[in-house]
């Protein structure tokens, strides 16, 4: 093989390797947009918000909270650690096992987490679920959640462009209002007349509540963004206001969820710069 041929061969091989690596990365991301396309989408929402504000159209953006703005896995981990500490004698080694859980890769739902921890004893599973559930759905553990990367900056940016912000959450107002307000403030998320918390006071299933709320908001505002991590909820919101840019947060979601409507983009977080 001549030197020129060899160089061409090496270049070609490198090119193929790069293509394969790119395809593998795209596959690993699932349907989520690559970082540059995500930036473009979020920048487009900011621009659309500014345009609507300039036209006097009262722009607004709706965000779900759990696993859309704030990751809930750290809350589950904190509750399990508390349990482990209280029952260290009965369950030696459990605290260590829970400490090693990484909230960024933990599965969704207590059953899946306990499976990952290889807790097969039915009595123990029941005891842990009974301990976890009322605490997870209470006011007391919400500041353990973690904001999604870029979420706060994006909301601050939207407000600077003139948007009102609505946190549309299926959390129970009776059980979780106080803790939700405290957690939002704790992380620096705005909460005022231009950033309001809309909780599930209808006590209807989440998709119905969120669809209805979105339709109501669309009567008084130009909705420039709808953000949600549950497929059934984002579909309901998207169908209630097809003019608004619906965005699916590809974090974690319930197992029973159907597919996300075609044409709704998927993102992993709110980072504006790739």
CB 270 within 8 A of CB 45: no
3-state secondary structure of 2: coil
Number of Cβ atoms within 10 Å of the Cβ of 90: 10
User: Which neighbouring-strand residues pair with 192?
Assistant: 195
Min dist CB 230 to Mg ion, Å, is 5
3-state secondary structure of 91: coil
Min dist CB 229 to Mg ion, Å, is 4
Q: Which of 40, 59, 43 shows the shortest CA–CA distance to 224?
A: 59
Q: Could you identify the residue written with the tokens 């920048």?
A: 43
Residues near Mg ion (CB under 5 A): 64, 66-68, 229
Which one, 49 or 72, has the nearer CB to Mg ion?
A: 72
Min dist CB 137 to Mg ion, Å, is 13
Min dist CB 210 to Mg ion, Å, is 10
CB 264 within 8 A of CB 248: yes
Which one, 66 or 241, has the nearer CB to Mg ion?
A: 66
Which one, 66 or 232, has the nearer CB to Mg ion?
A: 66
- Closest residue to Mg ion, judged by C-beta, is 66
Min dist CB 211 to Mg ion, Å, is 15
CA distance 96 to 270: 32
Backbone angles phi, psi at 30, to 5 degrees: 65, -135
CA distance 133 to 5: 66
Which one, 98 or 234, has the nearer CB to Mg ion?
A: 234
Please report the sign of the dihedral spanned by the C-alpha atoms of residue 50, residue 55, residue 58, residue 62.
Answer: negative
Min dist CB 255 to Mg ion, Å, is 14
Min dist CB 70 to Mg ion, Å, is 9
Which one, 49 or 68, has the nearer CB to Mg ion?
A: 68
Min dist CB 28 to Mg ion, Å, is 23
How far does the chain reach from its first CA to its final CA, in angstroms?
42
Which one, 39 or 68, has the nearer CB to Mg ion?
A: 68
**Chain centroid, CA 97 distance in Å:** 26
Number of H helices, E strands in the chain: 10, 8
Helix axes 73-86, 122-136, angle to 10 degrees: 120
Which one, 52 or 65, has the nearer CB to Mg ion?
A: 65
Which DSSP letter does residue 197 get?
E
Which one, 97 or 172, has the nearer CB to Mg ion?
A: 172
């Amino acid at each position: 093989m001549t030197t020129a041929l060899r160089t061409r061969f090496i270049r070609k091989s490198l090119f193929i390797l790069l293509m394969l690596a790119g395809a593998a990365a795209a596959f690993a991301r699932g349907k989520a947009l690559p970082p540059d396309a995500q930036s473009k989408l979020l920048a487009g929402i900011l621009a659309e918000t500014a345009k609507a504000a300039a036209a006097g159209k009262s722009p607004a953006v709706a965000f779900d909270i759990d696993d859309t703005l704030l990751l809930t896995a750290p809350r589950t981990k904190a509750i399990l650690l508390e349990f482990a500490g209280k029952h260290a004698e009965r369950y030696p080694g459990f605290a260590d096992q829970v400490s090693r859980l990484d909230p960024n890769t933990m599965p969704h739902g207590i059953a899946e987490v306990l499976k990952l921890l290889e807790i097969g004893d039915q009595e123990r599973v029941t005891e842990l679920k009974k301990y976890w559930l009322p605490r997870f759905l209470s006011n007391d553990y919400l500041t353990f959640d973690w904001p999604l990367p870029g979420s706060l900056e994006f909301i601050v940016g939207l407000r600077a462009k003139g948007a009102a912000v609505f946190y549309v959450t299926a959390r129970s107002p009776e059980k979780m209002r106080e803790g939700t307000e405290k957690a939002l403030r704790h992380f620096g998320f705005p909460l005022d007349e231009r950033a309001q918390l809309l909780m599930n006071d209808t006590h209807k299933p989440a998709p119905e509540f969120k669809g209805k709320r979105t339709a109501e908001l669309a009567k008084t505002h130009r909705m420039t963004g709808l953000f949600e991590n549950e497929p059934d909820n984002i579909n309901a919101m998207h169908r209630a206001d097809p003019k608004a840019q619906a965005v699916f947060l590809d974090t974690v979601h319930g197992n029973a969820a159907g597919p996300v409507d075609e044409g709704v983009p998927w993102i992993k977080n709110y980072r504006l710069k790739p």
